Structure 1
Amino acid sequence: MIRQYDLVERVKSYYPAVDESLLNRAYVYAMKMHGSQKRASGDPYFSHPLEVAGILTDLKLDPATIVTALLHDTIEDTEATHEEIARLFGEEIAQLVDGVTKLTRLELTNEDSKQAENFRKLILAVAKDVRVLLVKLADRLHNMRTLEHIRKPESRRRIAQETMDLYAPLAGRMGMQGFRDQLEDLAFAELNPEARDAVKSRLDLKQEKSRDLVVRIADEIKRRLAAVGIEAWVSGRTKTAYSIWKKMERKSIALEQLSDIYGFRVVVDSVDDCYRALGILHGAWPMVPGRFKDYISTPKGNNYRSIHTTVVGPERERVEMQIRTLEMHEVDEFGVAAHWFYKDYVENGSKKSVSASDELVAPFRWLREVVEMLEHDATSEEFLEHTKLEMFQDQVFCFTPKGRLIALPRGATPIDFAYAVHTDIGDRCVGAMVNGRHMALRSELQNGDEVEIMATGQQVPPLSWDDIVVTGKARAAIRAHRRRAEREQYVRLGRGIVEASLRTEGLPVDEAALEVVVHDLPASTLESLFEQVGRATLNVETVVRAMLVHFTPEKKSRRPKIKGAKVAAGSERAREDGTLPRGRPDAIPITGAGVGTSVTLSPVSLPIPGDRIVGIMQPGKGVEVYRIDSPALAAYDDDLDCWIAVKWDIDADEHRQFPARIALVLANAPGVLGEVATVAGKHGANIENLTTTDRKPDVYEMTVDIGVESAQHLERLLTGLRGLKSVSSAKRVYG
């Protein structure tokens, strides 16, 4: 356990102006508050916050963060309060301790929804002050180092999985690679001990056979660079068991086939020396093709900068090297912590605090982008999904025509690129030019691609884009657009139903009148009222009854009639005279654009314009449209309130197609399907699916799903098909 004196000396080594009394008071206070508490290992509980503080001194963090580490469990596990800590140590430290306490109380479980909601809270807390995350990561690292002392296997596995899924990627995304490596390896040991032991034993055996190889290679690299006047610090290390295992899984190869298990860091004085060193090393040993990456000119999203190359080096060993400056090395090791300098200085006689959070360093930019996703009103599960997408994937670097660099996850498409440039560009994207050539929007972008996005003035992102994009920002924007569009559809439908019902009862339909009763109903605004009616979560009859309390009908209420044949279901009276139940509104128009989320066409009835139709209100889903003679309507005979009159209102110039189904009996002969397709094409119909239902030596039967504009259009198509000699039967079928 670190002693009080040692902790103070560690902080003084990089922060000479530290207030020693503050550290000493925090040390004594935490020890006193935790008292005789014990950890699962049997050690005094105070050893944990002390070790967490020690981990953070390795990152050279400011005294306020070190004090927070000492106190981070006092509010959670002792009688200490926020007010007492603020009085003794200041409001800044009290706020930090409170932030860590809230994260600790987020007891993540295997329930996805709870995990997602808590992760959302974690990001929001961290966005206020990233030091909260630094303390939490150090806290998690020490807990993982002592994980073996937790008795319940399921608890150990849950903590390890949580570390692998959330905390290790978060550390990596914040640039803290050292933390990430340790967290992943410790979690790997718990989640897959057999695999880790197998990899470790092979590594130990390999190292035993080449005990001095790393030292010899490092000395040879230094000698080569020194010969041309480049002073370098070179360190070699074996990669972690988890990183090797991950590479074996990704490439589907055995450990024996992995030759680059040694990594060397070559630290030089300047960026110029980085490129000079690269030239010397490539001149000395052959480079492995495809293994060169320049993250100095194009940094990673977490501000990581280095040159990566692999050569067949000394003693014919495959050697992976990272060439960087000391500053780049510190960013790689400590990430945001390398940027985090809290200093007190006097300017014009006044004390001010300076923090790196005020600088637009890349990890902070990423964190802000993640928080921006919350503005898209995503669910907690979507937010977790989007953020994981951003944390886990490798990057590709593309450019705008003006040379702006856009970093994207591997597998990104032009749609992801468009949303990365600006959300509005993504929403209006209709095409893309990649390296001067028209490319499909689902094309996968490659490193160095120049991408030009073509956009229109008005464009709604298609629902299919959700399955194409890979970035969280794009997916969040598309889903937010979809939610807004869905809500607008339900509001429009609900407004139509309410206004038609009020007209039927002779009640006023203006918004001023509706505002009178909106607060008598479970709705906060008129728009919310219309949406609930459109979704069928609020019965329109409830709205009518509320209006009748305040207004007197101006005329006798009337019941709308449905012209034509009798209604198949709904009530005995409906069967007799073709009316819907009393109080049903005038027919709601179903337009081509209106068939979407709030109004759907029944897949068992397959109505198309020209068919006589009726609507069934489905709670939470809006209106489902059926043909008036559909046998499926019998299921709603006893639920008269769900029936609603609807009518087609299709613009003839729209040429929108609707799904229909036909049954064909065809001659079993070559070219028959070609004849059918030709007739469909001539009539402007679109064949969507063909299914053979019965096949005989001379004939076969099949159903064809086909897109047509109306019942009349379908009848013309059927007439054309019946005119073929090879077609003995062509008729429309349903469901």
Structure 2
Amino acid sequence: MSRTDEANADKDPTARPELGASGLDAAAQQVRSLKSLDRAPPIEPLKPASETRYLISDLCAYLETYLPPEQISECYRAYLFGAEAHEGQKRKSGEPYIYHPIAVARILAEMRMDYQCLIAALLHDVIEDTPIDKAQLAEAFGEEVAELVDGVSKLTRLDFKSRAEAQAASLQKMLLAMTRDIRVILIKLADRLHNMRTLDSMSPEACRRIARETLDIFAPIANRLGINWIRIELEELSFAHYWPWRRRVIQRALQGRSSGARFEMVSLVETTLRHALQQEGIAGRVEGRQKHLYGIYRKMREKSRGFSELADVFAFRVTVDRVDTCYRVLGLVHNLYKPVPGRFKDYIAIPKANGYQSLHTALIGPQGIQIEIQIRTEDMQRLAESGIAAHWMYKSGGQSAGANPTALAADWLQNLLEMQREAGNSVEFLEHVKIDLFPDEVYVFTPKGRIHALKRGATVVDFAYAIHSDVGNTCVAARIDRRMAPLSTQLRNGQTVEIITAPGARPNPGWLNFVVTAKARVNIRGHLKNIKQREAQALGRRLLNTELAALGTTLEMLEPVRLAAYLEETGLGSLEELFGEIGLGNRLAPLVARRLAGAEGADSETRLDNRDLHPHRLAIRGTEGMVVNFARCCRPIPGDAITAIFSPGRGIVVHRAECRNLGGLEGKRDKRLDVEWSKEPEGEFATEIRVEVNNRRGVLAVVAGAIAELGSNIENVQTIEKDGVMTDLEFRLLVKSRDHLARIMRRVRLIPDVDRITRITRS
């Protein structure tokens, strides 16, 4: 493959634009400026962390280090069961399929997982890829193992409209199984890790698809659970397969920066830190390392910087025995090297959402090179690497105060359950999970001093939902540091936020424009969906009664047997469900009414076509909610002659009777609905006017003032300059009726600089 072809292969057509000339392209240009790519220092391909092909004897020998013999025997029995089930199956690489489950079990064994988890790992593809079902598995190895295997298995026996829908449904199934047993996701992470280590046997398209999914879902889940070593390896392997050319560019640039004096600098800093610790009598380990390639690339993207502009490519870790020693070491390193202002983070006092604890500080090291130093205890280091897996790996050891990954994971899983209940479908649920998996955090306080970690950019509404769903649903205002603030205010680190609620309040659809957390978004949508459903049912009942009245009957007069037969025929569970379908426009009230009334002959057609003579019309009050929409093309207001059309999923859309967009529906009575304004409509309605004025200073303020005098609120104004002499002012107003609009237009017409005023109708 040529260099150009490879670069093109790296492009993701769905990704947002990456960086400008000052970003990654600048780093790439540095490499391309070499006389020949072939003359550059050779780049070693990314090797998997383990290329070893483990046999069952190797696995059993390893298990002897921490499991009793009887449990190892059960694992061996599971291997025999799986080997027989997968007999004749091969992986893309050509090797027997059973090697894959053994490798997955070995990864989990290195995490000291219990024997039931290892049995499930050895059998994790049996339900999905062989005739063995869950019941047979439960009979052979118990219900617990069968549940674990079923949780990891994809949904393969259902029909989906697209690959994305199938993927989302399978991931939803896995994540919900994870809420019952966290070991499900640990098995899946081990499975994905081994698949990524052996991805070279797949086609390039499959490699990119799997790598993208790994970066979007599985690496963030590993990070959310605090299993750092799995997260790093998944990211590095995905980076190599999704953006291989970008990885080579960064690696070459890093090799140039890291050679010679740079490595001497790393050695010098390590030696200096160790010597300083010894002088102070502090026992600790010092480790220096070069940051991972994907981490460097991600920072280049996030900060829109080229490689040459990145400073902290090197990091050092100091591991000590106690928490108070961490702060002593912090003072020590700040005395050795000058700290960078604004780059200190105390994750010991305020742990990350996954339980991670450490002190982070950036310093100006030797030769003016910026370095990062992390200071933590041995317990913090174990938790940083293993996260929730430390529950199995270090059962006998203590945990750092204030950081309990198991409890934090349980909180996150509870949020997943809440999102699943409110999400409309699996694709929507997966999108919410993706949002929740990328928390660049901001820390705020309740008035009682409780800390909440939120995604950066979170608003007051996000904070309200983080406290409790009921608080979010009823919030009306907030005090930030004792000062009143709008609900859309973005929060900053260290602020104290007090939420003000009202019993009758409910979520506003406009909140969706600024909330950033998945919990807030899914709760708002779920609440609005329930409101819309109730409004749809009320409207559907009114529509059906109106149509039945036109046919000389009512809902109460219909025979129960006829209603039950119709519900059974249409697959609807209740009358309320039928009303909801009608209200949302998914079923047409005239057709339903004719079926229920048993009037489907020619006579009924005649009666239906003559409905204009019938007094039964649906009265529009303006308070019907989200299922009655007013067309933006003609913007009807009380006093206009109106008609309505059915819109599936939305309900009905009301137009002015003379609207040009109704032209194709004149003869389609089943698509239209006879409506009229209620005698006492409520609320205000949007309409648009165009005012042609002389282009003079202050004329806009004069016109706006005249509109305000007559009690109308201006929602939007747009100026359109015509010829330098005349200007069109287009206003979107809120009015109560046609008479109200007429008074406003008469008042505006009296202004001397106004030449003409008209009501706007858009086609």
Aligned match of 1:678 = 705
SS of 1:13's equivalent?
Answer: coil
Q: Which amino acid aligns with 2:669?
A: L
SS of 2:437's equivalent?
Answer: helix
1:580 to 2:629 alignment: no
Aligned match of 1:40 = 92
Cα deviation, residue 504, structure 1:
4.1
Aligned match of 2:756 = 729
Aligned match of 1:667 = 694
Aligned match of 1:301 = 353
Structure 2 gaps, min length 5: 1-52, 397-403
Query: What is the CA–CA distance in structure 2 between the aligned matches of 1:485 and 1:110, rounded to whole Å?
Result: 30
Equivalent of 1:618, from 622, 647, 668? 647
Query: What is the CA–CA distance in structure 2 between the aligned matches of 1:314 and 1:333, rounded to whole Å?
Result: 29
Q: Is the 8 A contact 1:661 1:703 kept in 2?
A: yes
Counterparts in 2 of 1:243 and 1:590: CA distance versus 1, 3 Å: same
The worse-fitting range, judged by mean Cα deviation, of 457-466 and 377-386 is 377-386
1:55 to 2:110 alignment: no
1:99 to 2:151 alignment: yes
The worse-fitting range, judged by mean Cα deviation, of 131-140 and 639-648 is 639-648
1:591 to 2:621 alignment: yes
Aligned match of 2:527 = 481
Q: How many residues align?
A: 696
Cα deviation, residue 109, structure 1:
11
Query: What is the CA–CA distance in structure 2 between the aligned matches of 1:498 and 1:144, rounded to whole Å?
Result: 57
Cα deviation, residue 78, structure 1:
4.9
1:607 to 2:636 alignment: yes
Q: Which amino acid aligns with 2:617?
A: A
1:440 to 2:500 alignment: no
Q: Is the 8 A contact 1:507 1:547 kept in 2?
A: no
Query: What is the CA–CA distance in structure 1 between the aligned matches of 2:441 and 2:557, rounded to whole Å?
Result: 52
Equivalent of 2:518, from 460, 466, 472? 472
Cα deviation, residue 509, structure 1:
4.0
Q: Which amino acid aligns with 2:673?
A: I
1:163-562 equivalent positions in 2, closer than 5 A: 163-209=214-260, 210-313=262-365, 316-340=368-392, 361-510=407-556, 517-521=563-567, 522=570, 523-548=572-597
Q: Is the 8 A contact 1:518 1:529 kept in 2?
A: no
Counterparts in 2 of 1:455 and 1:7: CA distance versus 1, 3 Å: same
1:638 to 2:671 alignment: no
Cα deviation, residue 448, structure 1:
1.0
Query: What is the CA–CA distance in structure 2 between the aligned matches of 1:109 and 1:254, rounded to whole Å?
Result: 42
Q: Which amino acid aligns with 2:507?
A: P
Q: Which amino acid aligns with 1:438?
A: M
SS of 1:432's equivalent?
Answer: strand
Question: Structure 1 length as normaliser, TM-score?
Answer: 0.87
1:13 to 2:61 alignment: no
SS of 1:433's equivalent?
Answer: strand
Query: What is the CA–CA distance in structure 2 between the aligned matches of 1:370 and 1:482, rounded to whole Å?
Result: 19
SS of 2:65's equivalent?
Answer: helix
Q: Is the 8 A contact 1:514 1:526 kept in 2?
A: no
Counterparts in 2 of 1:109 and 1:727: CA distance versus 1, 3 Å: closer
Counterparts in 2 of 1:48 and 1:214: CA distance versus 1, 3 Å: farther
1:73 to 2:73 alignment: no
SS of 2:629's equivalent?
Answer: strand
Cα deviation, residue 447, structure 1:
1.2
Q: Is the 8 A contact 1:692 1:702 kept in 2?
A: yes
SS of 2:259's equivalent?
Answer: helix
Q: Spell out, residue by residue over 1:199-242, the C-alpha distance to the aligned partner (whole angstroms, 9 max, x if none).
A: 11222333331334434423332332232232112222211101
Q: Which amino acid aligns with 2:703?
A: V
Q: Is the 8 A contact 1:592 1:650 kept in 2?
A: no
Equivalent of 1:709, from 736, 740, 744? 736
Q: Spell out, residue by residue over 1:31-55, the C-alpha distance to the aligned partner (whole angstroms, 9 max, x if none).
A: 5554565433344433322222222
1:687 to 2:717 alignment: no
1:645-664 equivalent positions in 2, closer than 5 A: 645-649=674-678, 656-664=683-691
Query: What is the CA–CA distance in structure 2 between the aligned matches of 1:512 and 1:400, rounded to whole Å?
Result: 57
Cα deviation, residue 184, structure 1:
0.8
Point out which structure has higher relative CO (alpha carbons under 8 A, 6+ apart): 2
1:157 to 2:188 alignment: no
Q: Spell out, residue by residue over 1:321-374, the C-alpha distance to the aligned partner (whole angstroms, 9 max, x if none).
A: 222222221221112111237999xxxxxxxxxxxxx99521222122112111
The worse-fitting range, judged by mean Cα deviation, of 449-458 and 335-344 is 335-344
Q: Spell out, residue by residue over 1:114-173, the C-alpha distance to the aligned partner (whole angstroms, 9 max, x if none).
A: 3322221221122222212111111111111111122x2111111111111111111111
Q: Spell out, residue by residue over 1:571-596, the C-alpha distance to the aligned partner (whole angstroms, 9 max, x if none).
A: 7x6xxxxx6166xx7222212322x4
Q: Is the 8 A contact 2:473 2:524 kept in 1?
A: yes
Counterparts in 2 of 1:511 and 1:401: CA distance versus 1, 3 Å: farther
Counterparts in 2 of 1:466 and 1:519: CA distance versus 1, 3 Å: farther
Query: What is the CA–CA distance in structure 1 between the aligned matches of 2:405 and 2:229, rounded to whole Å?
Result: 23
SS of 2:640's equivalent?
Answer: coil
Query: What is the CA–CA distance in structure 2 between the aligned matches of 1:452 and 1:540, rounded to whole Å?
Result: 48
SS of 2:505's equivalent?
Answer: coil
Aligned match of 2:50 = none
Cα deviation, residue 57, structure 1:
2.1
The worse-fitting range, judged by mean Cα deviation, of 394-403 and 196-205 is 196-205
Query: What is the CA–CA distance in structure 1 between the aligned matches of 2:245 and 2:386, rounded to whole Å?
Result: 31
Percent of pairs identical after alignment?
A: 38
Query: What is the CA–CA distance in structure 2 between the aligned matches of 1:657 and 1:322, rounded to whole Å?
Result: 59
Q: Is the 8 A contact 1:378 1:476 kept in 2?
A: no
Q: Is the 8 A contact 1:518 1:524 kept in 2?
A: no
Q: Which amino acid aligns with 1:662?
A: I
Cα deviation, residue 195, structure 1:
1.0
Aligned match of 2:13 = none
The RMSD of aligned alpha carbons is 3.2
Q: Is the 8 A contact 1:590 1:650 kept in 2?
A: no
Q: Spell out, residue by residue over 1:256-304, the C-alpha distance to the aligned partner (whole angstroms, 9 max, x if none).
A: 2222112222222122222222222223322211111111121111111
Q: Which amino acid aligns with 1:445?
A: L
Q: Which amino acid aligns with 2:252?
A: S
Q: Is the 8 A contact 2:155 2:166 kept in 1?
A: no
Query: What is the CA–CA distance in structure 1 between the aligned matches of 2:79 and 2:758, rounded to whole Å?
Result: 86
Query: What is the CA–CA distance in structure 2 between the aligned matches of 1:691 and 1:81, rounded to whole Å?
Result: 65
Counterparts in 2 of 1:36 and 1:189: CA distance versus 1, 3 Å: same
Counterparts in 2 of 1:60 and 1:673: CA distance versus 1, 3 Å: same
Q: Which amino acid aligns with 2:581?
A: Q
Query: What is the CA–CA distance in structure 1 between the aligned matches of 2:365 and 2:157, rounded to whole Å?
Result: 51
Q: Is the 8 A contact 1:373 1:383 kept in 2?
A: yes
Counterparts in 2 of 1:27 and 1:298: CA distance versus 1, 3 Å: same
Counterparts in 2 of 1:492 and 1:185: CA distance versus 1, 3 Å: same
Structure 1 gaps, min length 5: 345-357, 551-555, 561-569, 574-578
Q: Spell out, residue by residue over 1:234-256, the C-alpha distance to the aligned partner (whole angstroms, 9 max, x if none).
A: 22221110100111121222222
Counterparts in 2 of 1:194 and 1:64: CA distance versus 1, 3 Å: same
Q: Is the 8 A contact 1:515 1:526 kept in 2?
A: no
Query: What is the CA–CA distance in structure 1 between the aligned matches of 2:346 and 2:268, rounded to whole Å?
Result: 26
Aligned match of 1:352 = none
Q: Is the 8 A contact 1:232 1:268 kept in 2?
A: yes
Cα deviation, residue 424, structure 1:
1.1
Counterparts in 2 of 1:580 and 1:284: CA distance versus 1, 3 Å: same
